[in-house]
Amino acid sequence: MKRRHSRSSDGSSGISSGSVSVASSVCDGNQNDTSVSMTSETQLPKEETLRLRNEHLGSLTALYFRENPLKIIRAERQYMYDEEGNQYLDCINNVAHVGHCHPAVSEAAYQQMTQLYTNSRYLHDNLSTYVKRITQLFPDPLTVCFLCNSGSEANDLALRLARAHTGGSEVITLFGAYHGHIQSTIDISPYKWKNDMADKPKYVHVAPNPDMYRGPHANSASPGRDYALEVKKIIDTIKLDGKQLSAFIMESLQSCAGQVLPPPGYMTEAFRYVREAGGVCIADEVQVGFGRVGSHYWGFETQDVIPDIVTIGKPMGNGHPIAGVITTKAIADSLGNIVSSYFNTYGGNPVSCAIGHAVLDVIEDEQLKKNAQEVGEYAVKELQKLELKHKIIGDVRGMGLFVGIEIVKNRSTREPGTAVANEIHRRMKNRRIIISVDGAFDNVLKMKPPMCFSRSNVDHVVWSLDEVMSEIATSDVIKPLKPSTGTSHLEEVNVSHLSAATN
Ligand SMILES: Cc1ncc(COP(=O)(O)O)c(C=O)c1O
């Protein structure tokens, strides 16, 4: 059953005059409704929406495409629609994991919302069955789940659990990492530090991220071992200072750092050093969990390790704020030594748990993990073909529907092509394809689309990238320094469209 709820600002039901059709070939029969309704006549003019936002939201709040921001008013599956009914292909929303506004998820929310919405201090089957179901997706001994509302909260709780369990204070994080927007997680997020290491709290230590393209051990014969040794070096200095390690936190695959896939063996070795030093290992799966990597349900499984604590969020509620911390009973019990109880007003409420169940059902029913694997492999293969043609592509990497394209000025020096990457981003938006740019040098084109992304979507993206890159090659965005030699040494000019980085 597909229920459509549409309400205008005056509370009346908004049935559109502006129906548009979308291609039904995508998502391969999963969600076949092809009509999209919108209430353009009840919308504020776009300029007014922007004016109110500028006046009252503050300029720090991130906005895609500052130059001509999009006003998106509806979305379905991997498509979004602006106020004029234009369709955009969404290649980056990993929160809308099972597809934007999936009817099964909306229906679960609606049904439970009309029955009961209360906190987790009462018994409720939704809560008990959900935590059973989610922990069953993890290997032993990860059997306990705390529920909360955001990835930031989950990581904050993970840090508290680690401190309570180890008695330690020191935390090791990775270069380029982002773990959330609250103070404790900003502390461990070099990605957000404006003044680089000057913003680093003393208890935080930054290890090089296991980058196989441009990191210090990218060309090593054993990069996994060498990058893990960097973690050990930090542990040695912590010991020398007479301090105790609390936690090593990392995303199983780094997203904000620029779609970085750790080399084989990295997590095994790093986790061993951390545990030998009495610390715990936290895997942040807020972006990459729930089957995105295709071959496995969780990113850490691709490295054949079992973390002590795992944090999950974004895709968990397909847009509804629900997140969680999964850990061992021993670590969970340690928190009891320092606080009287865990209580979270919204975490674990029956509506969130109903939604969480629905998301898991859809992942299973529509075989989205398998789709991520097949379509993701296809995407990497097709993008690698593009790499043969366009010298500005330094690297194509990915696992499942988690793909990065590194844009460079020069393939030999690997100098980041920041301005060109941002220009590609802008021109793709003009073609109504939304990708993002990220990484330490803001030069990695990222794709992490809803999991119903199809092969024909990949073709559309690759074909458009090909055109955009060809256009750029002949425009004044890239000016060859030595045109007569035909080298790939490129200088970027004419850059006025840099957009906000994304999480
Ligand atoms: C890896 C990672 N961890 C944690 C967070 C924080 O999640 P939230 O924005 O839900 O607080 C993010 C958000 O982008 C993230 O990418």
Task: Give 3-53 pLDDT, tens digit per residue.
Answer: 333 333 333 333 233 333 333 333 333 343 434 444 556 899 999 999 999
Nearest CA to 90 out of 502, 466, 420, 429 is that of: 429
| Most informative mutation of 159, 286, 318, 446 for ligand 1 (most atoms within 8 A of CB) | 286
Mean pLDDT of 377-402: 98
Task: Give 441-484 pLDDT, tens digit per residue.
Answer: 999 999 999 999 999 999 999 999 999 999 998 887 765 444 43
Atom 15 of ligand 1: nearest residue by CA position = 179
pLDDT bin (cut points 50, 70, 90) of residue 148 is very high
pLDDT at site 41: 64
What domains can be seen in the chain, in order of their start residue? 20-91+368-492 (3.90.1150.10), 106-365 (3.40.640.10)
Ligand 1 binding pocket (C-beta < 6 A) is 150-152, 155, 178-181, 251, 255-256, 284, 286-287, 313-314, 503
| Most informative mutation of 314, 320, 346 for ligand 1 (most atoms within 8 A of CB) | 314
Is the pLDDT confidence value at 503 over 90?
Answer: no
- In this structure, what are the phi and psi dihedrals at residue 432, rounded to the nearest 5 degrees? 65, 40
Atom of ligand 1 nearest to the CA of 152: 11
Atom of ligand 1 nearest to the CA of 180: 6
CA dihedral 85, 89, 94, 96 (to 10 degrees): 40
Residue indicated by tokens 């020069």: 410
Task: Give 168-201 pLDDT, tens digit per residue.
Answer: 999 999 999 999 999 999 999 999 998 878 889 9
pTM of the shown model: 0.89
AA identity, residue 421? A
**Burial per residue of 350-367, b for 16 or more beta-carbon CB atoms within 10 angstroms, e otherwise:** bbbbbbbbbbbebbeebb
